[in-house]
Amino acid sequence: MMPGGLSETKPATPEIQHIVNQVKQQYESKQDRTYDIFKAIVYRTQVVAGINYFIKVQDGDDDYVHLRVFQSLPHENQGPSLVSFQSGKTRDDPLTYF
């Protein structure tokens, strides 16, 4: 993968689900509601001064959202931060830069 470019799309791992769990409250506060389902499906990464994660998340029976989450470098000792999201997605929508 070239620095600054997006990785290929990969199936979500337990590590990615952990990141999603950490930003769930940030997402819920922006949407002003809670979600019973919040399951990572696939993801892509972008290496910057840290890592941007682009993650497709199932947030309802047939509802999906794309999250962009920034994880700073380890020495900065900060958790992941929800940068942006795109709601109204489907399971088949491609995960692209936004």
Instruction: Report the pLDDT value the prediction gives residue 26, as an integer from 0 to 100.
Output: 96
Domain-embedded: residue 84 = yes
Which 3 state secondary structure label does DSSP give 96?
coil
As to burial, measured by CB atoms within 10 angstroms (0-12 exposed, 13-18 middle, 19+ buried), residue 23 is buried
59: in domain = yes
- Identify the DSSP state of 9: P
Task: Evaluate if residue 12 carries a pLDDT over 90.
Answer: yes
3-state secondary structure of 66: strand
Q: 64-88: per-residue pLDDT in tens?
A: 999 999 999 878 888 899 999 999 9
Give the predicted TM-score (pTM) of the model: 0.90
Q: Is residue 66 part of a domain?
A: yes
Task: Give the C-alpha separation, 27 to 57, whole Å.
Answer: 11
Give per-residue pLDDT as tens, 25-66: 999 999 999 999 999 999 999 988 899 999 999 998 889 999
At residue 3, the pLDDT reads: 58
Q: Where would I find the H helices in 1-98?
A: 14-31
CATH number at residue 58: 3.10.450.10
| CA–CA distance, 49 with 40 (Å, rounded to integer) | 24
Q: Is residue 98 part of a domain?
A: no
Residue 21: domain span? 10-89
CB 20 within 8 A of CB 67: yes
CA geometry: angle at 15 spanning 88 and 6, to 5°? 60
Residue 4 lies in a domain: no
Q: How many domains does the chain have?
A: 1
